[in-house]
Amino acid sequence: MDRYAVIGNPIAHSKSPRIHTLFAAQTGQALSYEALLAPLDAFVATVEAFRAAGGRGLNVTVPFKLEAFDFADRHTPRALAAGAVNTLAFGPDGVLGDNTDGAGILRDITVNLGCPVAGRRVLLLGAGGAARGTILPLLDAQPASLTIANRTAVKAAELADEFSTGPLRPLGCGFADLAGQDFDVVINATSASLSDAAPDLPAGLYAPGSLAYDMMYGKGDTPFMRAAREQGAARLADGLGMLVEQAAESFLLWRDVRPATAPVLAELRAAL
């Protein structure tokens, strides 16, 4: 039986073992999937021991995504764009590093939520790792515009400049600079919800029919979702679907089969 795992610190809270166990049962794949706690100073040693024991692949969560990037021998284009790796695949030609987060959120928005990104005005809040991993998939979806806004405007501007080599050039700005603009899709990639807060945004950002999407999730609305409702967002969604969809992208990379995510997402939602 092929072995896979999610590695992080802390890791006991991870839903990945349940998700991949459900994927395996659904698709008839013979595999096991576990949670692997790595000491903060022993990521590489823990990965090498898992691989030597027959491990086929790993999901990587905080705080090891940058170390995983350095550990990989090769990278997918989306991992290179993100500068971080959340999926490792071990093969005869070495270690492949991928980043499935951006593809996961895009699939959740466009497929699960039925909200198109192509031709829409998209606002991405935050300029950290979560935002960075989302930019290339968003640009590939060909929105009408992509604005990256951050509390520190210069960080947003620098991040936008990094992704300005293609036909669509993102714009970077501070939160206050958003005044007078509105958007069709607003994605919160900040960590504000972890502190039970919402980004301090100008009023009037949400266009008619707009979607407010928080990468965080929990039981009930996040602070960002509550604020978005008060400010007129037509639709609200949290990041649980992103969690399941990025896992499905990893499963596809490892097993060459895409599992159905809707029943898994429904089970996780019911368990919250």
**Fold match, 2-99 / 102-240:** yes
Higher pLDDT, 191 or 248: 248
Report pLDDT for 166.
84
**Whole-number mean pLDDT of the chain?**
97
pTM: 0.96
Beta strands in 74-214 (DSSP E): 74-75, 87-91, 94-98, 121-125, 145-150, 171-174, 183-188, 206-214
Indicate which residues carry an active-site annotation. Answer: 65
Domain spans in the chain, listed from the N-terminal domain onward: 2-99, 102-240
Reference 156, options 116, 188, 191, 128; nearest CA is 128
Report pLDDT for 269.
96
Sheet of 183-188, strands arranged across: 171-174, 145-150, 121-125, 183-188, 206-214, 235-237
The domain defined by 102-240 folds into: Rossmann fold (3.40.50)
CATH superfamily for domain 2-99: Leucine Dehydrogenase, chain A, domain 1 (3.40.50.10860)
- Mean pLDDT for the stretch of residues 29-53: 98
Give tens-digit pLDDT for 143-182.
Answer: 999 999 999 999 999 999 999 988 899 999 999 999 999 9
